[in-house]
């Protein structure tokens, strides 16, 4: 989910900037630069199409004063176009073995001017003779639902956020209103900070951020506050000034919503984070970890289960965007923890790496999922989708979120981590443990051949995923109904969601 401001005339935290990465498998092999891949706008199943941007945002009016460049309408900051009816190319990136189009300037408004945070693109692969050989659809999730106005809007906001010199009182409900209030408050709060005046001059903002915006030069917050999200593109802040993540999460840890007493830091659920991250409507946290609920109907995992609270995220010692939880903080030894983080802000670690992201990826000391590769050198995301939208057979009720799962459904006909071997392999491989995470091949051929596997594989290797008892384990679940022939003309049918155990077809592992 990429956040983007919906008004650029006052200040910006984030420009419209979605990244699309694609990998191509041809005949069971990961393909490279010998192919061409394109993206274009395509309608979601509900008909929503998003094929133009400049009519929906004032980004192009302010790109020059904000970012020092003036891309043509519908062209993003790295030169890639908005998805449209005209296919645009992705470029081969050998470092990651993927094709990429960075910085696609998409907005959360579809062509009928309705909000849609899950717009879709069609991705098509062509071979050396320009023949289309494969295509799929993917979501470019985007939202501008940053609800700063809840607390920073004139009069209706939190009195604790009211500038000493009063609210700016621009027309009620206008986005400029709360944005101007934020600049006024920032100017007041930092008036006595040693180098504030000189920083303003240095960055071309005159005597104050507010006056600069009023006179037509909007503010790029990250020109003073470093954000590693923009630093990788060459926009870094001023050394010594707090990073954007530390500044925002610390300053807002102890604030409350208007009329309430509970601080954001003490709210233990995603509701706290959805005050700025998108959001109550958008629900950027969805998928396999976001949707599940416990017996009380509460979410099993919240943002804090993985990232910690506001103060933990705002810890100045953290390297924002890089010091992150990992899948293996929770998924280890056949277990699924529901909390990834320790009380001291470090992440849980275990020795088991079956479900681990790669060490020192993309650089020393980090282990980022979005750059990691697994089976067949494929990106983890190729089979799982992006971090907060993991493919799952338990989608949430929000129809648009179902768009996330379409790519998996197109590949293997059902929503779940992509596992059907013949999605990628021209013929069913024969393997006891050479599949993703040490899986065997699937289907009747495996049912027939598994008794022969035990010459080389101890049965204990099966127990990691299948469990040791007739109760089985959640690591070996059939996601779509399947029927296998077993003995003497008999058959065993598994329902979708049923566990496969060594008792399902015969009396345990020693029939
Ligand atoms: C839940 C209410 C709430 C929300 C939501 C909120 N703020 Fe604030 N914000 C406050 C309060 C209250 C203060 C004043 C805090 C203080 O005086 O310690 C503040 C202070 C600030 C300051 C002044 C910082 C300083 O001291 O220099 C800035 C800048 C700011 N907020 C920006 C934002 C932005 C941008 C957003 C949205 C991404 C946002 N706020 C969302 C309540 C909120
Ligand atoms: C001209 C430089 C400059 C710009 C531009 C700027 N800030 Fe600041 N900001 C500072 C300085 C300096 C401080 C105080 C020192 C520090 O936080 O390191 C500060 C403090 C803050 C704080 C309080 C930090 C804390 O820990 O209490 C927040 C929040 C904040 N800024 C948010 C923003 C937002 C949001 C924007 C864009 C609307 C912005 N800033 C633009 C220089 C800037
Ligand atoms: C007051 C607004 C606000 C609230 C509330 C808020 N965030 Fe953020 N968050 C931001 C902004 C702004 C950024 C972008 C920082 C940047 O550009 O580097 C951000 C970035 C992040 C990042 C990525 C950067 C990093 O530090 O790694 C994480 C993770 C994050 N937030 C987690 C959370 C969690 C978890 C919560 C709830 C407990 C939360 N945030 C609540 C404003 C907020
Ligand atoms: C905070 C702990 C935690 C973290 C971190 C975590 N998971 Fe999970 N994961 C769980 C739990 C708990 C479940 C079982 C949820 C349920 O259905 O009740 C789960 C379920 C899953 C499933 C099965 C989903 C299904 O519908 O069958 C997949 C796949 C998965 N996680 C992948 C990942 C990946 C990939 C990562 C890293 C990007 C990750 N998880 C990080 C706790 C976590
Ligand atoms: C199940 C664990 C989990 C939960 C729940 C979770 N996150 Fe994350 N989040 C991660 C992981 C893991 C990463 C790092 C991804 C990587 O390594 O590439 C991440 C990364 C981020 C980033 C950086 C951008 C990105 O996508 O890499 C932001 C911002 C963020 N999370 C905010 C949130 C917010 C806000 C919530 C709640 C609404 C939340 N997260 C809930 C695991 C989680
Ligand atoms: C070729 C497809 C593929 C790739 C690539 C892939 N996975 Fe998986 N992943 C799967 C399948 C299939 C499952 C379900 C296996 C199971 O339930 O035993 C799974 C399950 C998981 C789970 C959840 C285990 C559970 O408790 O259900 C995690 C965590 C996970 N993978 C992490 C990763 C990480 C990290 C990477 C990259 C380093 C990765 N995966 C790469 C296919 C893949
Ligand atoms: C999403 C695509 C994808 C899926 C699904 C997938 N594989 Fe693969 N697999 C690959 C790729 C790519 C390679 C690397 C082939 C190469 O470069 O030689 C590979 C390699 C292998 C290898 C190494 C030997 C070889 O063929 O080169 C085995 C064994 C294997 N896969 C088994 C499986 C099994 C079993 C399953 C199903 C449980 C499976 N794979 C599912 C893409 C996939
Ligand atoms: C990495 C996890 C994992 C390991 C290890 C594992 N399995 Fe499985 N097994 C699965 C999953 C997941 C399924 C369900 C696949 C599907 O969707 O059909 C499955 C399905 C099966 C099936 C039904 C066939 C099918 O296609 O669904 C049999 C039989 C089976 N496993 C036997 C074994 C035996 C015997 C071993 C040990 C040699 C073993 N498994 C090891 C994950 C595993
Ligand atoms: C989908 C049905 C199915 C599942 C699930 C299944 N098996 Fe089997 N298994 C069979 C069939 C069919 C045979 C061959 C006929 C027989 O011996 O009953 C067999 C035979 C065996 C044999 C050889 C028995 C002999 O007398 O030679 C062993 C050992 C075995 N299975 C172990 C396992 C283990 C361990 C698991 C769980 C990880 C498992 N099976 C899960 C269907 C299954």
Residue 511's pLDDT is 86
Identify whether 124 is part of a domain: yes
pLDDT for 305 equals 98
Averaged pLDDT for residues 368-372: 97
How many Å is the Cα radius of gyration of the chain? 25
Of the chain, the percentage scoring pLDDT greater than 70 comes to 99
Model pLDDT, residue 488: 81
Write the pLDDT tens digit of every residue in 120-145: 999 999 999 999 999 999 999 999 99
- Percentage of the chain exceeding pLDDT 90: 94
Atom of ligand 9 nearest to the CA of 463: 38
Residue 489 has what pLDDT? 86
Residue 6 and residue 121 in one domain: yes
Provide the sign of the torsion angle of the four alpha carbons 295, 300, 302, 304, taken in this order: positive
Same domain, 139 and 232: no
Residue 327 placed within a domain: no
Does the pLDDT of residue 478 top 90, yes or no? yes
More confident residue, 398 or 420: 420
Q: Are residues 84 and 200 in the same domain?
A: no
Containing structural domain, residue 270: 176-183+191-319
Q: How confident is the model at residue 487, as a pLDDT?
A: 83
- Do 44 and 135 share a domain, yes or no? yes
> Residue 101 CA to chain centroid, in angstroms?
16
Q: Is residue 456 part of a domain?
A: yes
Residues 125 and 249 in one domain: no
Per-residue pLDDT, averaged over 236-257, amounts to: 97
Q: What pLDDT, in 10s, does the model give residues 479-499?
A: 999 999 998 889 999 999 999
* Residues lining ligand 1, Cβ inside 6 A: 146-148, 150-152, 158, 160-161, 182, 185-186, 189-190, 251-252, 255, 257, 264, 275-276
Global confidence as pTM: 0.97
Q: What is the pLDDT of residue 486?
A: 94
Domain stops at, among 262, 289, 319: 319
pLDDT at 396 (0 to 100):
79
Tell me how far apart the alpha carbons of residues 332 and 338 are, in angstroms, rounded to a whole number: 12
Element containing residue 40 per DSSP (H, E): strand 36-42
Are both 231 and 133 inside the same structural domain? no
Q: Report the pocket of ligand 5 as residue ranges, CB < 6 Å.
A: 270, 273, 277, 284-285, 289, 301, 303, 305-307, 321, 324-326, 340, 368-370, 387-388
Tell me 85's DSSP state. S
Q: What's the average model confidence in pLDDT over 45-58?
A: 96
As a whole number, mean pLDDT of residues 165-169 equals: 97
Average pLDDT of the residues in 52-63: 98
Q: For residue 504, is it within any domain?
A: no
Which one of 319, 346, 361 terminates a domain? 319
Q: pLDDT per residue over 65-115, tens digit each?
A: 999 999 999 999 999 999 999 999 999 999 999 999 999 999 999 999 999
Asked which of 45-49, 170-174, 335-339 is least confident by mean pLDDT, the reply is 170-174
Q: Within this chain, do residues 7 and 139 fall inside the same structural domain, yes or no?
A: yes
Tell me how many domains the chain contains. 3
Query: Is residue 68, in this structure, part of any structural domain at all?
Result: yes
Residue 150 belongs to a domain: no
Same domain, 98 and 196: no
Can you give the pLDDT at residue 398?
65
Residues 24 and 134 in one domain: yes
Closest CA to ligand 3's atom 34:
273
| Pocket-forming residues, ligand 9, beta carbon under 6 Å | 447, 450-451, 454, 459, 462, 466, 484, 486-487, 492, 500, 502, 504-506, 509, 511
Position 213 in a domain: yes
Q: Give residue 399's pLDDT.
A: 57
Q: Is residue 400 domain-resident?
A: no
b/e burial code for range 142-177 (CB count within 10 A of at least 16 → b) = bbbbbbbbbbbbbeebbeebbbeeebbebeeeebeb
Look at residue 15 and tell me whether its pLDDT is greater than 90: yes
Whether 136 contacts 385, CB under 8 Å: no
Give the ligand at the shortest distance from the Cα of 228: 3
Mean pLDDT of the chain: 95
| 61 and 133 assigned to the same domain | yes
Same domain, 257 and 133: no
| CA nearest to 496, candidates 481, 484, 474 | 481
Residues 89 and 196 in one domain: no
Nearest CA to ligand 8 atom 34: 462
* Per-residue pLDDT, 331: 98
Cα separation, 320 vs 341, whole angstroms: 16
pLDDT at 378 over 90: yes
Q: 401 pLDDT band (50/70/90 cuts)? A: confident
């Amino acid at each position: 989910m990429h956040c983007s401001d919906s008004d650029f005339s006052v200040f910006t935290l984030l420009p419209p900037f979605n990244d699309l990465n694609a990998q191509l498998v041809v005949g069971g092999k990961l393909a490279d630069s010998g192919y061409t891949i394109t993206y274009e706008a395509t309608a979601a199943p509900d008909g929503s199409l998003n094929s133009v941007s400049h009519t929906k945002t004032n980004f192009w009016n302010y790109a020059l004063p904000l970012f020092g460049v003036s891309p043509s309408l519908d062209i993003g900051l790295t030169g890639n176009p908005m998805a449209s009816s005209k296919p645009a190319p992705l470029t081969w990136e050998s470092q990651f073995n993927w094709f990429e189009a960075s910085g696609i300037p998409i907005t959360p408004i579809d062509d009928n001017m309705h909000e849609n945070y899950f717009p879709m693109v069609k991705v098509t692969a062509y071979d050396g003779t320009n023949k289309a050989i494969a295509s799929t659809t993917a979501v470019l999730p985007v939202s501008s639902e940053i609800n700063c106005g809840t607390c920073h809007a004139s009069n209706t906001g939190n009195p604790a956020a009211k500038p000493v010199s009063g609210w700016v009182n621009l027309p009620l409900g206008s986005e400029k209103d709360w944005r101007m209030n934020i600049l006024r408050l920032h100017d007041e709060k930092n008036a006595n900070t040693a180098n504030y005046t000189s920083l303003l001059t240095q960055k071309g903002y005159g005597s104050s951020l507010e006056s600069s915006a009023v006179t037509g030069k909007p503010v790029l917050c990250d020109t003073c506050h470093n954000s590693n999200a923009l630093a990788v593109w060459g926009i870094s802040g001023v050394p010594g000034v707090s990073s954007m993540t530390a500044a925002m999460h610390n300053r807002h840890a102890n604030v409350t919503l208007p009329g309430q007493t509970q601080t954001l830091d003490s709210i233990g659920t995603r509701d706290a984070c959805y005050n700025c991250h998108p959001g109550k409507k958008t629900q950027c946290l969805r998928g396999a970890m976001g949707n599940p609920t416990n017996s009380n109907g509460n979410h099993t995992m919240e943002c804090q289960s993985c990232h910690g609270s506001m103060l933990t995220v705002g810890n100045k010692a953290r390297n924002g965007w890089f010091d992150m939880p990992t899948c293996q903080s929770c998924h280890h030894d056949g277990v699924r923890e529901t909390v990834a983080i320790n009380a001291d802000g470090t992440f849980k670690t275990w020795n088991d790496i079956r479900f681990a992201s790669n060490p020192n990826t993309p650089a020393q000391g980090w282990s980022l999922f979005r750059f990691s590769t697994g089976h067949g050198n494929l990106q983890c995301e190729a089979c799982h989708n992006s971090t907060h939208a993991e493919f799952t057979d338990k989608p949430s009720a929000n129809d648009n979120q179902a768009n996330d799962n379409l790519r998996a459904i197109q590949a293997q006909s059902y929503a779940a981590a992509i596992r059907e071997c013949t999605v990628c392999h021209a013929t069913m491989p024969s393997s006891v443990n050479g599949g993703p995470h040490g899986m065997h091949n699937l289907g009747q051929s495996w049912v027939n051949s598994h008794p022969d596997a035990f010459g080389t594989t101890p049965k204990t290797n099966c127990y990691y995923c299948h469990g040791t008892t007739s109760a089985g384990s959640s690591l070996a679940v059939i996601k779509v109904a399947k029927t296998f022939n077993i003995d003497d003309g008999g058959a065993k049918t598994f329902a979708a969601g049923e566990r496969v155990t060594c008792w399902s077809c015969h009396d345990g592992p020693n029939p």
